[in-house]
Amino acid sequence: MPAPTPQALQDYLHAHIPLSKAMAVEVKTASPQGVCLAAPLAPNINHRDTVFGGSASAVAILSAWALLHVSLLDANIKARLVIQKNSMSYDLPMPGEFSAEAAAPSPEKWQRFLATLLKHKRARISIQSVLNCEGQQAGRFEGDFVAVILQ
């Protein structure tokens, strides 16, 4: 099954992860090479008129999860994906629309993950995402995700 279009991924996220719709998350790019999500300030604002940290974290997690979702669909593998743990750093306040971009892991790391998943029906992989706002890197995310093949 090929990777979904950005609009198809956005529709999926809004239907299956309602918080993404409430946050007005928009899928900018969606491929096994990378996923970029953006969100406006208004539904994600805090008391300082910048992006709420929880919103920034949620969009970063969602970008990494979506990258794995798209990549597994592209590999024709049906699996349940969950986050196991993550770390987030906030480097700059974000006073406007922001984005989170998750890039594919190295080919070696991805192949090792797929081999483990197919052999043991379960595998773990670490994915990184970068937060950007107004042309500057505003934060970094790293999370471990677990995939379990569905019967």
Domains of the chain: 6-149 (3.10.129.10)
Above 80 in pLDDT, residue 2?
no
Percent above pLDDT 70 for the chain: 99
Radius of gyration of the chain (CA): 15
- Looking at this protein, which amino acid is placed at residue 46? N
Residue 4 is predicted with a pLDDT of: 85
Q: How far is CA 39 from CA 51, 70, 72, 88, 114, in A?
A: 10, 19, 24, 18, 31
Report whether 81 contacts 149 (CB < 8 A). Answer: no
Stretch 65-86: mean pLDDT: 96
Above 80 in pLDDT, residue 1?
no
Identify the band that residue 151 occupies on the pLDDT scale cut at 50, 70 and 90. Answer: confident
Average pLDDT, the chain: 96
d(C-alpha 30, C-alpha 143), whole Å: 19
Residues 6-59: pLDDT tens digits? 999 999 999 999 999 999 999 999 999 999 999 999 999 999 999 999 999 999
Identify the band that residue 107 occupies on the pLDDT scale cut at 50, 70 and 90. Answer: very high
